[in-house]
Structure 1
Amino acid sequence: MFNLKMYINGEWRDSQNKEKRNVINPATGEVFAQAAEGTVEDVREAIQVAKATFESGVWSEMAPAERASYLFKIADKIDENAEELARLETMDNGKPLREAGFDMADAAACFRYYAGLITKPDGVTYQVPDPVQAFVVREPVGVCGLIVPWNYPLMLSVWKLAPALAAGNTVVYKPSEVTPLTPTKLFEIFEEVGLPKGVANMVMGAGSAVGNEIAESHDVDLISFTGGTKTGKHIMKAAAGNLKKVSLELGGKSPNIIFADADFETAVDYALFGIYAGSGQVCSAGSRILVEESIYDQFVNRFVERAKQINVGPGNDTNTEMGPLVSQEHMERVLNYIEIGKEEGARVVCGGNRITKEGLEKGYFVEPTVFVDVTPNMRIFQEEIFGPVVIIEKFKDEEEAISLANSTNYGLAGGVFTIDGAKALRVTKKIRSGITWINTYHNTYNEAPWGGYKQSGIGRALGTYGLDVFQEIKQININLQVEPIGWFSK
């Protein structure tokens, strides 16, 4: 049984009220850890520690190359502990070990990317009229509140922590209360490499208490949140109290457009990967497959055939291709959406049920599910289900494909499959999404920006854009001819 504590000012501690929350293995339904249940008072203390540490300059005024040295050490430690981290992530989240392994490699690479980036030239000098010299410098924002979801507990934490720390900020970080295991291990690594006390602080607990206090606090200068759109709207309102900077990476209902001239097996294969990787618990999941009508029936038949072959099981089984959903609560939400789809008149042609066969009956497993006969007014077309549930709809031509693709409030991602390069670019440019793929799906890179349009969020993670979020831009003007201006009479 793991006993998980918070980390404030370089110390591991329980919450002030000593309450604990059970952490459950989603593959077995068994409690395997207890985590400190943070309070508003715990958050306030962490915020004050982060503020005092930032103002001390111990981190914010450290030379970028020295800060980078810590980030490189953290990356090395993630690599050294990658196998253990992957195992813990699978236990906590349920994802197959092969997926967790990729996440660990990406996390280490992200720290290295920002360690390198922060030492590169970043100022600008402007040629303005004499006798003034004008230039711009970048400075850390201050105290950053970071709130991450449960679907990528370590990787999405690193997407925020690496650039925030690289820029010289101090942080108050809240992991998901459902998946605190690998975040705790990451903070152990911070301690091991000697990150100065008070720079990185972790408070566990419910979003309604811990997350809300971070969002409302006037001593937090920026909040970066990844999660559901409804929660993102609440955070944005709460953050208005002191007009803190806000970065939101929210939900998606992403279209995956399959044209008749696409390489058929490649399109089917990536469409499966686009929805069933991560058990569909991925914000960019290709949860709406739009197929040109001339190949629609062929595509549905082949997709269903392949979906039925997916090996669903516990993530620690090397034969598993799709794991459980993260919690009983979330499983019930996904199953409820399946019932909603049926009630609306959509037809299930694959899956649609909880898996209760021997060995899986206590876990939160749901069959890979496929809906057809779906119309754009249905909730399962418009709303994010965040599970292994996909709709497949037909379109007549390019114009209708684009119209259907853009017909939700979301705009995070989208895919296009065709061998016609010109058509691929035409359609991709008209998809109102922040991330798009052509003849592939889901791959992302630390060097490239990640984020969405419309109600899929504000701002970008990763790349230089991800560092910009955690920096302020300051204009400095120097008068090179020091004498009275003579604007007013003597």
Structure 2
Amino acid sequence: MISPAGLLIGGERIVESSAGTHDHIYPATGQPNVVVALAGPQDIDRAVANGWEAHRAWMSLTVDRRRDLLIDLADLVHEHLGELAELNVHDYAVPIAFAGTAVLLERFLRHFAGYVDKPHGSSTPVNGSFDINLIEREPYGVVAVIAPWNGALAVAASCVAPALAAGNAVVFKPSELAPLAALRFGELCVAAGLPPGLVNVVPAGADGGDALARHSGIRKVHFTGGGATARKVIAAAATNLTPVVAELGGKSANIVFDDADLQAAATLAAHQGPLMQSGQSCACASRILVQDAVYDEFTDTFLARIAEAKIGDPLDPTVTFGPVIAQSAVDRILAAIGDAAGQGAGELLTGGRRIGGELATGYYIEPTVFGDVDNASELAQIETFGPVVSVIRFRDADEAVSIANDSSFGLNAFVHTRDLARAHGVARRLEAGSVWVNTFSDMAPQGPYGGYKQSGFGRTGGLEGLHEFLQVKNIRIGMR
């Protein structure tokens, strides 16, 4: 067992909370490894109050000092990259070879620290007047950031970093299923010299999340997760007409044209599909569209790449495939596989079963691939959020775009081709917030990230992501 995980409010750890505790289960073994304190409404009240006090302290500092403190925090994160990676593994059993999202956190902190002392506003002439017309961007004050279990540090990077740079305090709610890395990040914020309470970390279940979203002291909510929960968050935030940004799920298309580097495309498809976080990622490319002429060659290479994956203990640096998050996820994913097979959605090419033997107590499911899948099937239309992907044939670019866009989601899309004109033309036609050509989905602080359609609204990263945490004020000064 790891030491009990308490809340972090006002710079202090709180083990006794108003909503009791949760026994965190390590997905690789199915055994408990930590007791997590859960935030209830009283704890949320305290976190928001501390946030407002810290926000005022933060804004009383010079821009140079705030910038330097964020750089100090990035330095401290860098010093603890190994520790944060191990906590990620303990949180949700992601293989340690891919657990380094703290590197992303450091990059985002350094990037957005550079915006603290840059002008955000503008001045424009007013027609027919000598008045001074100022357009300024100001922080909201205290914002809520609600993270999913599969990427608390990635959300800290893409949301907490720009929120702080914009001048806000943050009440950061990680899932009770994966709170450890987020809590350690909160401690590093205090150690770096940020005002206590500028980043409060409150692991919570559904009740705590509801209390946070509907709290009158929260001025904006940034939610990352699934569509069903997003509807509940938006409904709770509507109590006070609090604006919400939502980054939601996906059913991303990965289009492989006949002129692509098939070896590289197959490697990317394996890792961006069933292998990366066992398919438990909003960026999972779970619909692999392959042009007829290379369908068989690509599929053989793709299956070979999957067969090379090493399955085992996530703390082993050579392991590339780990478990899913919980027994409930195992049940849901196996049911989806069974339904797909029963409905004739496609041909099961590999996988489809729970892994036994030495891994039987953990939540391991074989990487699963269906071939010749009907894009109208539930398998191709509903987000599985597990190591299950569909391979779909297409004839030409028009059909590829049509199939790719035939989805209620639109977070990511991927294109593999050596033809620059084709790549650009197809990318322009795809209904997705991000299109990755011949590369993995690699979030960068310079690039805005977010979805179309039911994959959400609003952006993280880039100036667009910074502006999500700033509100616009117009000041008109009469000169006559």
Is the pair's TM-score, using the shorter chain for normalization, greater than 0.5?
A: yes
Alpha-carbon distance in 2 for matches of 1:201, 1:95: 25
Q: Secondary structure at the match of 1:312?
A: coil
Matches within 5 A, 1:318-329: 318-329=317-328
Aligned counterpart, 1:231: 229
Contact 1:15 1:39 survives alignment (8 Å): no
Aligned counterpart, 2:260: 262
Contact 1:5 1:35 survives alignment (8 Å): yes
Amino acid at match of 1:192: A
Q: Which runs of 5+ in 2 are unaligned?
A: none
Alpha-carbon distance in 1 for matches of 2:155, 2:216: 25
Alpha-carbon distance in 2 for matches of 1:441, 1:44: 41
Aligned counterpart, 1:211: 209
Give the superposition deviation at 1:127.
Answer: 2.0
1:313 aligns with 2:312: yes
Alpha-carbon distance in 2 for matches of 1:288, 1:240: 34
Matches within 5 A, 1:136-285: 136-206=135-205, 208-275=206-273, 276-285=275-284
Measured against aligned partners, the alpha-carbon deviations of 1:103-130 in whole angstroms (never above 9, x if no partner) come to 1211111111111122222221112243
Give the superposition deviation at 1:48.
Answer: 2.8
Measured against aligned partners, the alpha-carbon deviations of 1:10-47 in whole angstroms (never above 9, x if no partner) come to 22113444722111221112211111022122112222
Q: Secondary structure at the match of 2:357?
A: coil
Q: Using a 3 Å threshold, how does the CA distance of structure 1 residues 400 and 363 change in structure 2: closer, same or farther? A: same
Q: Using a 3 Å threshold, how does the CA distance of structure 1 residues 18 and 213 change in structure 2: closer, same or farther? A: closer
1:33 aligns with 2:30: no
Aligned counterpart, 1:393: 392
Aligned counterpart, 1:485: none
Alpha-carbon distance in 1 for matches of 2:19, 2:318: 40
Measured against aligned partners, the alpha-carbon deviations of 1:456-487 in whole angstroms (never above 9, x if no partner) come to 01100011111101001111111122xxxxxx
Measured against aligned partners, the alpha-carbon deviations of 1:318-375 in whole angstroms (never above 9, x if no partner) come to 21011111222222222221112112212211111111122x1211111111012321
Alpha-carbon distance in 1 for matches of 2:330, 2:215: 33
Alpha-carbon distance in 2 for matches of 1:191, 1:197: 6
Contact 1:353 1:366 survives alignment (8 Å): yes
Aligned counterpart, 2:475: 476
Alpha-carbon distance in 2 for matches of 1:60, 1:170: 10
Over the aligned positions, Cα root-mean-square deviation in angstroms equals 1.5
Amino acid at match of 1:30: Q
Aligned counterpart, 1:13: 14
Q: Secondary structure at the match of 1:58?
A: helix
Aligned counterpart, 2:88: 89
Amino acid at match of 1:353: R
Amino acid at match of 1:120: K
Alpha-carbon distance in 2 for matches of 1:376, 1:474: 47
Give the superposition deviation at 1:453.
Answer: 0.4
Alpha-carbon distance in 1 for matches of 2:196, 2:318: 43
Matches within 5 A, 1:66-81: 66-81=65-80
Contact 2:18 2:43 survives alignment (8 Å): no
Amino acid at match of 2:88: E
Alpha-carbon distance in 2 for matches of 1:327, 1:92: 12
Give the superposition deviation at 1:155.
Answer: 2.0
Aligned counterpart, 2:342: 343
Give the superposition deviation at 1:62.
Answer: 2.8
Amino acid at match of 1:29: G
Aligned counterpart, 2:405: 406
Matches within 5 A, 1:361-380: 361-380=360-379
Contact 1:367 1:388 survives alignment (8 Å): yes
Q: Secondary structure at the match of 1:422?
A: helix
Contact 1:94 1:324 survives alignment (8 Å): yes
Contact 1:43 1:213 survives alignment (8 Å): yes
Aligned counterpart, 1:121: 119
Q: Using a 3 Å threshold, how does the CA distance of structure 1 residues 342 and 97 change in structure 2: closer, same or farther? A: same
Give the superposition deviation at 1:53.
Answer: 4.1
Alpha-carbon distance in 2 for matches of 1:18, 1:303: 47
For structure 1, which segment, 328-337 or 140-149, has the greater mean C-alpha deviation from structure 2 after superposition? 328-337
Alpha-carbon distance in 2 for matches of 1:28, 1:352: 20
Amino acid at match of 1:118: V
For structure 1, which segment, 69-78 or 37-46, has the greater mean C-alpha deviation from structure 2 after superposition? 37-46
Measured against aligned partners, the alpha-carbon deviations of 1:56-89 in whole angstroms (never above 9, x if no partner) come to x211343222212221111111111111111121
Amino acid at match of 2:33: F
Contact 1:27 1:363 survives alignment (8 Å): yes
Give the superposition deviation at 1:444.
Answer: 2.2
Q: Secondary structure at the match of 1:375?
A: coil
Aligned counterpart, 1:288: 287
Alpha-carbon distance in 2 for matches of 1:33, 1:111: 29
TM-score of the pair, normalised by structure 2 = 0.96
Measured against aligned partners, the alpha-carbon deviations of 1:152-196 in whole angstroms (never above 9, x if no partner) come to 122222321111111111221111110011111111111212221
Q: Secondary structure at the match of 1:154?
A: helix
Give the superposition deviation at 1:302.
Answer: 1.9
Aligned counterpart, 1:486: none
Q: Secondary structure at the match of 2:474?
A: strand
Alpha-carbon distance in 1 for matches of 2:318, 2:201: 35
Amino acid at match of 1:243: L
Give the superposition deviation at 1:52.
Answer: 4.4
Q: Could you tell me the percent identity over the aligned residues? A: 36
Aligned counterpart, 2:47: 46
Alpha-carbon distance in 1 for matches of 2:444, 2:167: 23
Q: Secondary structure at the match of 2:143?
A: strand
Which of the two has higher C-alpha Rg? 1
Contact 2:172 2:199 survives alignment (8 Å): yes
Alpha-carbon distance in 2 for matches of 1:145, 1:62: 22
Give the superposition deviation at 1:435.
Answer: 0.5
Q: Secondary structure at the match of 1:172?
A: strand
Measured against aligned partners, the alpha-carbon deviations of 1:184-219 in whole angstroms (never above 9, x if no partner) come to 11111112122212322222220x211111111222
Q: Secondary structure at the match of 1:278?
A: helix
Alpha-carbon distance in 2 for matches of 1:239, 1:205: 17
For structure 1, which segment, 449-458 or 262-271, has the greater mean C-alpha deviation from structure 2 after superposition? 262-271
Aligned counterpart, 1:355: 355
Q: Secondary structure at the match of 1:87?
A: helix
Count of residues in Structure 1 that have an aligned counterpart in Structure 2: 476
Alpha-carbon distance in 1 for matches of 2:77, 2:331: 34
Amino acid at match of 2:158: W
